[in-house]
A = this chain, B = another copy of it.
Amino acid sequence: MKFATLPNGTLDGHLVVVSKDLSKAVDASAIAPNLLSAVQNWHKNESELQALYEQLNAGKRQDAFDFDPSRCCAPLPRSPQWLDASAFLNHGKLMEEAFNTDPIADFDKIPVMYQGASDDFQGPTVDIPMPKEADGIDFEGEFGVVMAEVPMMASVEETAKAIRLIVQINDWSLRALGPREMNSGFGFLQAKPSSSFAPVAVTPDELGEAWKNGRVNMSLHVTWNGQRFGEPHGSEMNFSFPELMVHAARSRKLTAGCILGSGTVSNKSRDAGSACIAERRVIEKIDLGEIQTQFMKFGDRVRMEAMFDDGSVGPFGVIEQKVVANLVKSQ
């Protein structure tokens, strides 16, 4: 199934089911008012939502309308938790070089993960206000999962069964603020503004063979101001999503609707390019001896779209956003 969320003045938005080819949508709020509610009550709602999806795909819904991603909010405009890992070892090791930080102990054996803001997720095409260009504005292309409730100390068998939806994410980052926050030991806070999401959240079966080993085996095509930036592949994730969820649930319950991100998709092969600027910069430093690429300027645009290995477009739709200066509102 494919889901999207339209604005309706509430914090959770309004649920629609989207057709397999992303061309049509239909109101699903008679089954669940919003996607968070659908995930919270999955076993109650699943068969009705599936029936609606099949009717929509078969052209049998008189109430279907053209699906317009530019109207969409994030699939979950708010979520109980946003947990973001750094599960691509290649990215993590390059970033250690970039920030000149000590190697993280057992980085390949124990996931690293922080909690970010989950109360103000951005839709796929809205302009993104940022405080200052000097903060080092960067994008980070990621995949993520939306989960059912996961009890504290859940096993990997339990977490694997708790994955409800797959999502595609732009985890906005402010690179000038990251090193100080990492050095403090308290981790990222100012360095991580609210993340953006592609318009469509999908059940794992929509990925077919591309959902295997608990990973999204698709490439994430990133362009910056219309120029190709990279298309790293999700298969090189060092930990599976179920393994990352076990880490997250070690000492806390994860309530239904929590989102866990992979961290920047990154591949060993230089041919794949990158899904964030910071990674390209450190590659330039290593390969060329100097950093050539600067971070984003106000007015810059980033586009992200996942693709299947056969070259067909992925199911999440497109993130396409412009960075703008935040206007301070005096109160």
A interface vs B, CB < 8 Å?
Answer: 11, 78, 80-81, 83, 86, 101-102, 104-105, 107, 110, 112-120, 129-131, 135, 151-153, 158, 161, 174, 177, 180-194, 247-248, 250-255, 258, 326, 328-329, 331
Contact A183 B185, CB 8 Å, known A120-B253, A161-B331: yes
| Distance in angstroms between the alpha carbons of A328 and B254 in the assembled complex | 14
Contact yes or no, A116 B117, CB < 8 A = no
Q: How far is the CB of A236 from chain B (nearest CB, A)?
A: 20
| Choice from B101, B119, B194 contacting A185 with Cβ under 8 Å | B101
Residues of chain B with a CB closer than 8 A to A131's CB: 152-153, 250-251
| Distance in angstroms between the alpha carbons of A258 and B186 in the assembled complex | 19
Residues of chain B with a CB closer than 8 A to A254's CB: 119
Contact yes or no, B250 A190, CB < 8 A = yes
When all copies of this chain in the complex are counted, the total is: 2
Contact yes or no, B153 A184, CB < 8 A = no
Q: Which secondary structure dominates chain A's binding surface?
A: loop
| Distance in angstroms between the alpha carbons of A67 and B101 in the assembled complex | 53
Residues of chain B with a CB closer than 8 A to A86's CB: 186
| Distance in angstroms between the alpha carbons of A105 and B118 in the assembled complex | 28
| Distance in angstroms between the alpha carbons of A165 and B104 in the assembled complex | 39
Q: How far is the CB of A239 from chain B (nearest CB, A)?
A: 14
Residues of chain B with a CB closer than 8 A to A253's CB: 120, 194
Contact A114 B152, CB 8 Å, known A80-B78, A120-B255, A258-B119: no
Contact yes or no, A193 B251, CB < 8 A = yes
| Best-buried of A11, A107, A247 by chain B (most CB within 10 Å) | A11
| Distance in angstroms between the alpha carbons of A162 and B194 in the assembled complex | 20
| Choice from B102, B113, B181, B326 contacting A152 with Cβ under 8 Å | B326
Residues of chain B with a CB closer than 8 A to A101's CB: 185
| Distance in angstroms between the alpha carbons of A329 and B149 in the assembled complex | 12
Q: How far is the CB of A243 from chain B (nearest CB, A)?
A: 14
| Distance in angstroms between the alpha carbons of A81 and B116 in the assembled complex | 9
| Distance in angstroms between the alpha carbons of A193 and B81 in the assembled complex | 13
Q: How far is the CB of A295 from chain B (nearest CB, A)?
A: 14
Contact yes or no, B80 A189, CB < 8 A = no
List 20 contacting pairs A-B, 8 Å CB cutoff, sorted by A. Answer: A11-B255, A78-B255, A80-B118, A80-B119, A86-B186, A104-B184, A104-B185, A105-B184, A114-B189, A115-B189, A119-B254, A131-B251, A158-B331, A181-B185, A182-B185, A183-B185, A186-B188, A191-B251, A192-B251, A193-B251
Q: How far is the CB of A104 from chain B (nearest CB, A)?
A: 5
Which of chain B's residues has its CB closest to A80's CB? B119
Q: How far is the CB of A172 from chain B (nearest CB, A)?
A: 9
Q: How far is the CB of A64 from chain B (nearest CB, A)?
A: 32
Contact A252 B326, CB 8 Å, known A185-B101, A185-B104, A186-B113: no
